[in-house]
Chain A
Amino acid sequence: MQKYFRSPFALRLYRTLALTALIALMTGAPGQQQTPNLGLKLSYFQHVSFFGLFVTQRWVVFLALGLMVLGVSELTIRYRPVVRTLRQRVIAGPARIFERRLVKLTGLAFLFLIAFMIPTLVTNAYWRAAMVEQVAVYVLLALGLNVVVGFAGLLDLGFVAFYAIGTYTTAWVTGALPLAPPFHHALNPFWAIPIAIAITMLSGILLGAPTLRLRGDYLAIVTLGFGEIVTILANNLFSVTGGATGTNQIPHFSIHLGPFNYLWGLDPVPYYYLVIGFAILFIAVFHSLNNSRIGRAWTAIREDEVAAESVGINPLKFKVMAFAIGAASAGFAGVITAGQSNFVTPSSFTLQFSINVLVLVIFGGMGSIAGVAIGAIVIQVITMQLDHYPPAGFIPQDLFMYLGALLIVMMILRPAGLFPARRRTRELQQAGQGVGHADEVLTGDVYE
C-alpha cells in the first residue's frame, strides 16, 4: 500500500493539489480587519460560475482545473519524446533565425522605430504619463541593475537607496531642499546628472568595498539594510531632506545655450524622448562594457571566482566596479524622475521598489540587455494595465504577491529568463552538471 502513496505519480498528485489550493487562496477574496479569516473561507467556499456552465463552490472549480492540468502534464510525461521533437522542430528551428546578425540588427532598428513612434500612437492620458514614469524610467533602472545582477552575478536589494540618493541630489543641486545648494544659484537638473552619478558611485563604492570582500549573500542583506537606512534618514533629517513631506520645488529640465532655449514642461512626451535617448546611450555603453575586458572579467568571476583570481583578475575591483556602475545608473534614473515630477518624498523609496526592478531583470533574462529591456517593458505594461484598469475581482495590491511568486517560478523553470543570454543559459546548464560554482549551496544528493 505504502508503495502507491509514495509513487512518483502520487507525489505529483500531492504537488498539484497543494499548488491548486495555494492558487485558490491567492486568487480568492481578501480578508477584513475584524474577520481576518473571511478571505480564507471565501477563497474555498464562495459560489462561482464554472465557465458559465454551472454554479458551484470555488474548491470544486479549482480541484477540476488542477486535475485537468495534472492530466495534461501526465500526457506530456508519457509522450516526452514526441513533445521534445515538436519543441525542437516547431520552436527551436525558427527561433534560431534570431541568432543571425542581420536579423538581429533589423529587429533592433525596428524596435527603435517603434520606440520613437510610441508617443504618436498612444493618446490615452494615463498611458502617456505611464510610458515615461513607469515604463521608460524602469527600463533604465532595469538596465542598470542588470549590470550588477546579470553581468557580475551579485544580488543588490538596495537599488532604491541609490535611486533615492540621485533624486535627493537633484533636489539639493537645484536648491529645492532645506539644505543649502552647493552653488550660488540654483542649477537646472541637467547639471545634477554628473553630480548625482559621482555621489551615487561613491556611496556604492563605500558600501560595496567592505561587503564585496565577503561571501555574496552578505551584499544582499547589507544592501537590503542600506535601502531601509536611506529611507529612515530621508524621513527624519528634517533640516537636510525636508522630512516626510519632502519637497515639490524641483525645477523642470531646461536647456539654455546662447539663442537656443528649451524647457521640458508638463507634457510627458519630451521626457519620453529624453529618456529614450539616454536609454540608447546606456544600452550602447553597457553592451560595449560587457564585450570588453571588463565584461569578460565579470563573466569569469561569475562562473568561477577562484579560477578568475588565479589568472590575475582582482575580483574585488571588478565587483566594486559593477556595483558602482549599477548604483550610478540608479542615481541617474533618480535625476530623471526628480526633474520630471518636481517632487520627492521618502515614501516612494521602499523595498518594494527594489524588488520590482529585480523582477524586471529576472523576467527578461539576467545578463541579456535586449532581454532585460523587453522584459521590463512587458512587465511594466502588464502591471500598469492591471493597476489602473483592474479586471473584475482583481485587487491591484495583489500585484506584488504575483511578482514575488513570479520570482520563484522563474528561478525554478527558467532561471536564465524569457529571453536569455546564451552564456548565462550555458552556465546554468553546466552548473546542473556540477561545473563551476563548486560547493556553494549544499545540494543534498551527494550520494546519488
Chain B
Amino acid sequence: MINFFSAHWSILQSQFWSLLVIGLANGLIYAMVAIGYTLVYGVLRLINFAHSEVVMSGAFGGYFVLRETVGSTMPTGFASFGYVLLGAVSGALVGAVVATFVERIAYRPLRKRHAPKIAFLISAIGASYFLVNLAGKEFGRYNTALPLVYNNNVAFTFLGAQIQTYYIVIAIVSLIMLVLLDRFVSKSKLGRSIRAVAQDAETASLMGVNIDRTIALTFIIGGALGGVAGFMIALNTGAIYTMGFVPALKAFTAAVLGGIGNLRGAVIGGLLLGVVESLSVAFVDPAFIDVVAFAILVLVLLFRPTGILGERLGRAA
C-alpha cells in the first residue's frame, strides 16, 4: 500500500508542473463552455442540453473558414495569430447562430405556452440529438483535422513543464474572452439587463427590460463562448460530430462546482475541475478520467449543491 502511493507520488512530483499546465488549459476551455450553461441557467432556470452541439458547430465553423483561407504552406508569426483570431471569430459566430436557432425553435414556442419543465428538457435533448446527427450527415462521421495555423513546438520551459504554443493560444484567447464577458455583464446596459432578469424577471420587465431580447442575448453570448471553445478543442484534436458531448458534460460539472448561475463561479469551477482531472492522471488509469469528473459532480450535488461561490447571477458580479 505504501509502495502504491509512493509510486504515484513520484509521478506527481516529477510531472506536477506539466500536468498543472494541461489542467489549466483544459480548465479554461471548460470555463468558456460552462459560462454558456450558467448564463442560460441564471436567466431561464434551465439546463441547455443542446449546448454541447453549439460547441461542436463552433469547431466546424472554424474548420471551414480556415480550410478556405489557409494556403498550402503553414503560416508563421503574425499570420498565425491572424488565422487563430479568424478561426475563433468564425467559431463564435457559428456558435451564436446555432444557439439562437435552438432558442427560437426548441425553447421559445414552449415558453409562450408555459410548458412544464420536463417539456423543455425533452425539447432540449431532442435539439441536441437532432443537431449531432445532422452534423454527422453533413460533415461525415469522421474526424477532420484542422489545417495547421501555427507551429506547435515548445515555446518555453517553465519549472520543467514544456509550454507548447497550443497552450499559449488557449490562454490568450480564453482570457480575452472571459475578461470581455465579465466587463460586459457587470458594466454595460445589456449586461445589466441580463442580471436584472436573472434576479427578478417580473420586476425587470416592469422596469422596461425586454425579456425575450435578454433571453436571446444570453443564448448569443453563451453560444459565442461555446463556439470559440469548440474551435480551440478542434485545434488540438480535430473536429468530429460527436466532439461536443464530453467537454459539455464536464463543463456542466464545472458550472455546478462553481455554483450554477454564477459567472465567476463557472470560471473557478472550470479551472478547478481541469486541474483536478489532470492531476488525477497520476492516480487513475487514463481510461477512467471521465469517471473522475462525474464523481466530482455527484459529490458536489451531495454535499454542496450550491457550489463553491453559490448561485447568484443576479447580484453584481
Question: Which A positions have Cβ atoms within 8 angstroms of B?
Answer: 25-26, 30-33, 36-37, 39-40, 149, 153-155, 157, 207, 210-211, 214-218, 220-222, 224-226, 228-229, 232-233, 235-236, 351, 355, 358, 362, 395, 397-398, 400-401, 403-408, 410-412, 415, 427-428, 431-434, 436-437, 440-447
Contact = CB atoms under 8 A, between A and B. Distances in A.
A433 B294 CA distance: 39
A222 B298 contact: yes
Interface stretch (B90-98, B139-147, B166-174, B274-282): B139-147
A437 B117 contact: yes
Contacts of A358: 122, 125
A220 B121 contact: yes
Given A225-B294, A437-B116, A236 B138 contact: no
Interface of B: 43-47, 49, 60, 64, 105-106, 108-123, 125-134, 136-142, 144, 197, 201-202, 205-206, 211-212, 215, 245-246, 249, 252-253, 256, 285, 287-288, 290-291, 294, 297-298, 301-302, 305
A103 B73 CA distance: 75
Most A Cβ at <10 Å: residue of B118, B136, B140, B305: B118
Given A221-B47, A440-B45, A446-B202, A431 B305 contact: no
A225 to B, nearest CB: 5
A323 to B, nearest CB: 14
Contacts of A220: 47, 49, 121, 125
A123 B206 CA distance: 67
Contact of B111 (A226, A235, A444): A444
| Most chain B CB atoms below 10 A, which of A36, A217, A408 | A408
Contacts of A443: 111-112, 114
**What are the 4 closest A-B residue pairs judged by CB atoms, nearest first?**
A407-B126, A404-B130, A404-B129, A401-B133
A225 B249 contact: yes
B140 A214 contact: no
Contacts of A30: 137-138, 140
Contacts of A32: 140
22 contacts: A25-B138, A31-B139, A36-B60, A36-B64, A220-B121, A221-B49, A224-B249, A226-B294, A228-B294, A229-B291, A398-B133, A404-B128, A404-B131, A411-B123, A415-B115, A433-B114, A441-B45, A442-B43, A442-B45, A442-B215, A445-B112, A447-B211
B259 to A, nearest CB: 13
A210 B121 contact: no
A432 B110 CA distance: 10
B215 to A, nearest CB: 6
B302 to A, nearest CB: 5
Given A157-B125, A442-B44, A33 B140 contact: yes
Contacts of B134: 25-26, 401
A443 B119 CA distance: 13
Given A220-B49, A226-B294, A40 B302 contact: no
A281 to B, nearest CB: 27
Given A216-B118, A236-B288, A444-B112, 4 more contacts: A30-B140, A225-B294, A407-B123, A441-B115
Contacts of B253: 225
Nearest to B48: A217
A227 B136 CA distance: 21
A25 B135 CA distance: 11
A114 B138 CA distance: 42
A404 B283 CA distance: 39
Given A31-B140, A445-B112, A447-B205, A411 B290 contact: no
Contact of B252 (A221, A407, A436): A221
Nearest to B110: A411
A339 to B, nearest CB: 29
Contacts of A218: 256, 301, 305
Contacts of A437: 114, 116-117
B301 A33 contact: no
A362 B305 contact: no
Contacts of B119: 411, 415, 428
B133 A221 contact: no
Contact of A412 (B49, B109, B132, B291): B109
A352 to B, nearest CB: 8
Given A31-B140, A229-B294, A411-B123, A444 B115 contact: no
Contacts of B109: 412
A408 B291 contact: no
B206 A447 contact: yes
Nearest to B123: A411
A236 B287 contact: yes
Contacts of A401: 129-130, 133-134, 136-137
Contacts of B118: 149, 153-155, 216
A395 B137 contact: yes
Contacts of B129: 355, 400-401, 403-404, 407
Nearest to B143: A33
Contacts of A232: 287-288, 290-291
Nearest to A224: B249
A412 B117 contact: no
A235 B285 CA distance: 13
A229 B205 contact: no
A215 B256 CA distance: 12
Contacts of B127: 404, 408
A210 B302 contact: yes
A428 B301 contact: no
A157 B137 CA distance: 23
A40 B138 contact: yes
A225 B297 CA distance: 9
B117 A442 contact: no
Most A C-beta atoms less than 10 A away, residue of B121, B142, B215: B121
Question: Which residue, A216, A397, A442, has most C-beta atoms of chain B within 10 A?
Answer: A442
Contact of A411 (B47, B122, B137): B122
A444 B46 CA distance: 14
Contact of B46 (A39, A217, A229, A415): A217
A442 B133 CA distance: 29
B294 A153 contact: no
B251 to A, nearest CB: 11
Contacts of B60: 36
B4 to A, nearest CB: 18
A40 to B, nearest CB: 6
A410 B129 CA distance: 14
A406 to B, nearest CB: 7
A316 to B, nearest CB: 14
Nearest to B43: A442
A405 B140 contact: no
B228 to A, nearest CB: 21
B62 to A, nearest CB: 13
A408 B104 CA distance: 12
